[in-house]
Structure 1
Amino acid sequence: MNRSLRALAALALAVAALGAHAQQQGITDTEILIGDVMPLTGPPALGGIAHNIGVRVAVAEVNAAGGINGRKVRLITEDDGYVNTRTIQAVRKLATVDKVFGITTVSGANQGLAALPVIEQTGVLTFSVMGFSKQLYDPVKKNVFVIGQTYDVLFDDMTTFMAKKYPGRKWGIVSQDDESGEIVREGFERAAKAASLNVVSRQIYKKGQQDFSSEMAKFKHDGGDILIAGGIVNENVAMVKELERLGLKVPMGMFYVGRYPITLELMGAASDGTLWADYVEAETGPKGAAFLERVKKTVSEDEFKRVNRFTLTGYASARTMFEAIRQCGKAVTWACAIDRLEAMRGYDTGVMAPVAFSKTSHFSVQKPIVMEAVYGTRSFKPVP
């Protein structure tokens, strides 16, 4: 009798375990369902489409290799148009209707913050790599992981690099009148203080501003001969064009949010030699070029024309998530994937510095990389 009871108890535990396994959303015996939320329409689609291509390349690679522990990966993509309300709707749909296991990214910083309550409530494993705010990782959010680098560190690193490359210059900085601009200024001022730079011009512009004639005229009047341009795309294009009109050719430093081939096209020949802060490999560097060759084999010719630095972030995000899932073996759960991510030390995606998290930090801080624009090929090359 006792033996029979023990057998029944063991059977009950086995059934319960199988039931718990079956209940993990987004996981079946043959499939792993993931999603991403990004702008696929409107101006921000420049980054969103590129990111999506990177995720799709990662999916294609693992599926071509037989999947993750025998399970094929399927991707559902939602377009939020870079609108907060649509981001919330998209995340809710993926998490509660499609029931995906994980989301590779949630659009930009503001969109991620807007969707955070839904992300935390549903428990869906979520990455943020396109744009992120400190509130997404500090304090630690159990199911949210961020890969990237903060603006202040990027500008600190680039300013320090430029100070060594161009000693004795008179510095100027133009930045935006919002939180992002404040962070840009923080990084620049930290480097300026450490290197005792001669800063002759500090200017702040209004978000959405299009005309920078007065700012560039003041920079020239102040005697500036090296500039940190803290704009996005149109703002930095306008600054470069205005300096060209004034006949002023000076070293300029910018950052990754505007690092697109189309940006160089809009700036024209004056963009040649401009410096850019990033944390992914330069597409023309050894690792970047090798990655693009794989991308070219995966997507159409028209899609390949949409590839940019966000393709690398999309790929890195997806591969990191897949690695955590792989380490869970057959019994894939959110708890296991989170545990594997928190134990991750130096996972090499091949497109940026190794990824690392811990229980106390869900922010993988990536090594800054400075690149130089090459107008002739509308590309960016790594600097020595």
Structure 2
Amino acid sequence: MTKKHATSPSMRWWIASACAALPLLAHATQGVTKTEVLVGTIQDLSGPIANFGKETLNGMNMRIEEANAAGGAGGRKIKLIVEDSSYDTKKAVLAAQKLVQNDKIFITVGNIGTSLALTTMPIFTNAGVIHAFPLASARGLYDPPTPLAFSFTVPYYQQGKVIVKALTQMKADRKWCSLTQDDDLGSELMKGVEAQAAEMKLKVIEKTSYKRGATDFSSQVARLKSAGCDTVVLGTTLRETIGTISEAKKSGFAPEFIGTSASYSHLVPKLGGPTMDGFLSSHASSQPYADDASKALRDWFAAYKTKYNEDPGQYAVMGYASMDWVIKTLDKVGPDLTTDRFVQTMETSTFPRDKLGFDTMSFAKTKRLGSEAVRISKIVNGKWVPVTDYMQP
């Protein structure tokens, strides 16, 4: 006969208490404690767009420090965990896995790079981590609607459509050409350009591309010049934009160059000098200046410069704004923070135009992109000057 072991009253109490706690442990939200919420971000801090990554991180940290100094967001302090991708997809994947599996973050915010964000987004969402406001422009980041994904940067597809529409309104007779990065940035942009061109019965007469990280654009510029292009759409980032336009000027080739939000930065005229005057870009946020007409924006500019000893650029604005929208949502949710409550709150949120100049952002169950509108600006005497208001694609 098997001997039965008696269970003491104290042991029975411990077992009952542990079992009662199991449902609470099972429903605990990753990255959330009573006092803290863990936020992750993947930036390029050592690669070809490190200047943009640094700006983005500065903007995010500025807003987090403001919130934490005021008591946090929804009663919790925000802790930001930063990973460097070097603008390399393999490194970005490893960074995403670390943030999910080791750091166990609640939400990832402002991840930079279109191809990188498209590749890593499933790592986050499949693990139940919210993927919020990547600094990346592709339809795949919000379409089809994904419960845990929210975007604000207008995809290059829509930007391409607005570029063709806006420039054709300015001057109808153009010889359209393109030079694009050989990845999702370039392909998405050209799909939009070609869709709008077909709709308006226009044609892109010459298309060239380059591998990410390229530094020599002489052969591409020679092809564009030989084709007689007078309007060149650039799917380029900072360094490649400056390199292409500088090469064109050296060879006596002077078409109208227009880029996207990937090249809309105060660093383009700062690093490229007067050669960049006349360059156009589409964008959904505004480059701030110390003498802006808005006092609120002037004050924000001054606070950023005091903190970081440099002028803020567009990416600083995007970093600050993306974190601001997250903080406002956390405040709305309050102490009872769960992934579901955050998502449901974001789905009913609208963020009006503010001092940073974004178009109104609004979200819903079937609307994961805040706004599709972009505008066009031109570099004039070293400053970005808007030449259109916000336009729908």
Task: Tell me whether the two structures share a fold, i.e. TM-score over 0.5.
Answer: yes
CA drift at 1:366: 3.8
CA drift at 1:162: 1.7
In 2, distance between residues paired with 1:17 and 1:283?
51
Note the alpha carbon deviations across 1:220-256, whole angstroms, 9 max, x for none: 4443333223333343333322332233433221112
Is contact 1:200–1:223 with CA below 8 Å preserved after alignment? Answer: no
| Residue type of the alignment partner of 1:82 | Y
**Closer/same/farther in 2, CA of residues 286 and 19 from structure 1, 3 Å limit:** farther
2:159 equivalent in structure 1: 154
**Closer/same/farther in 2, CA of residues 236 and 323 from structure 1, 3 Å limit:** same
Is contact 2:114–2:184 with CA below 8 Å preserved after alignment? Answer: no
**Closer/same/farther in 2, CA of residues 279 and 17 from structure 1, 3 Å limit:** farther
CA drift at 1:151: 0.7
1:380 equivalent in structure 2: 384
**Closer/same/farther in 2, CA of residues 332 and 348 from structure 1, 3 Å limit:** farther
- Write 1 or 2 for the structure with the bigger share of helix: 1
| Residue type of the alignment partner of 2:300 | R
In 2, distance between residues paired with 1:309 and 1:289?
18
**Closer/same/farther in 2, CA of residues 184 and 84 from structure 1, 3 Å limit:** closer
**Closer/same/farther in 2, CA of residues 269 and 186 from structure 1, 3 Å limit:** same
**Closer/same/farther in 2, CA of residues 32 and 287 from structure 1, 3 Å limit:** farther
Aligned equivalent of 1:183, options 180, 185, 188: 188
1:3 equivalent in structure 2: none
Aligned equivalent of 1:360, options 350, 363, 366: 366
Is contact 2:363–2:370 with CA below 8 Å preserved after alignment? Answer: yes
In 1, distance between residues paired with 2:338 and 2:22?
12
1:371 equivalent in structure 2: 377
**Closer/same/farther in 2, CA of residues 115 and 215 from structure 1, 3 Å limit:** closer
Is contact 1:129–1:313 with CA below 8 Å preserved after alignment? Answer: no
Q: What SS does the aligned partner of 2:335 have? A: coil
In 1, distance between residues paired with 2:95 and 2:338?
22
Q: Does 1:116 align with 2:94?
A: no
Aligned equivalent of 1:246, options 251, 257, 265: 251
Aligned pairs, number: 367
In 1, distance between residues paired with 2:27 and 2:115?
34
Is contact 1:232–1:258 with CA below 8 Å preserved after alignment? Answer: yes
| Percent pairwise identity | 24
Q: Does 1:139 align with 2:144?
A: yes
| Residue type of the alignment partner of 1:136 | L
Is contact 1:282–1:371 with CA below 8 Å preserved after alignment? Answer: no
TM-score (norm 2): 0.81
1:307 equivalent in structure 2: 312
CA drift at 1:218: 4.1
Q: Does 1:77 align with 2:82?
A: yes
CA drift at 1:298: 4.9
5+ residue gaps, structure 2, are 1-16, 389-393
Q: What SS does the aligned partner of 1:330 have? A: coil
Of the structure 1 ranges 207-216 and 182-191, higher mean CA displacement relative to structure 2 is found in: 207-216
Note the alpha carbon deviations across 1:185-244, whole angstroms, 9 max, x for none: 2222233334444x5731222325544444434434443333223333343333322332
Once superposed, what is the RMSD of the aligned Cα atoms? 3.1
**Closer/same/farther in 2, CA of residues 333 and 295 from structure 1, 3 Å limit:** farther
Of the structure 1 ranges 312-321 and 58-67, higher mean CA displacement relative to structure 2 is found in: 58-67
1:283-302 to structure 2, matched below 5 A, reads 283-284=288-289, 286=292, 290-291=296-297, 293-294=299-300, 296-298=302-304
Q: What SS does the aligned partner of 1:106 have? A: coil
CA drift at 1:349: 5.5
1:7 equivalent in structure 2: none
CA drift at 1:382: 1.9
Q: What SS does the aligned partner of 2:211 have? A: coil
Q: Does 1:206 align with 2:202?
A: no
| Residue type of the alignment partner of 1:274 | F
CA drift at 1:149: 0.8
Of the structure 1 ranges 270-279 and 176-185, higher mean CA displacement relative to structure 2 is found in: 176-185
1:93 equivalent in structure 2: 98
Q: Does 1:261 align with 2:258?
A: no
CA drift at 1:313: 1.6
| Residue type of the alignment partner of 1:104 | V
Q: What SS does the aligned partner of 1:140 have? A: coil
Aligned equivalent of 1:174, options 174, 179, 193: 179
CA drift at 1:265: 4.1
2:58 equivalent in structure 1: 53
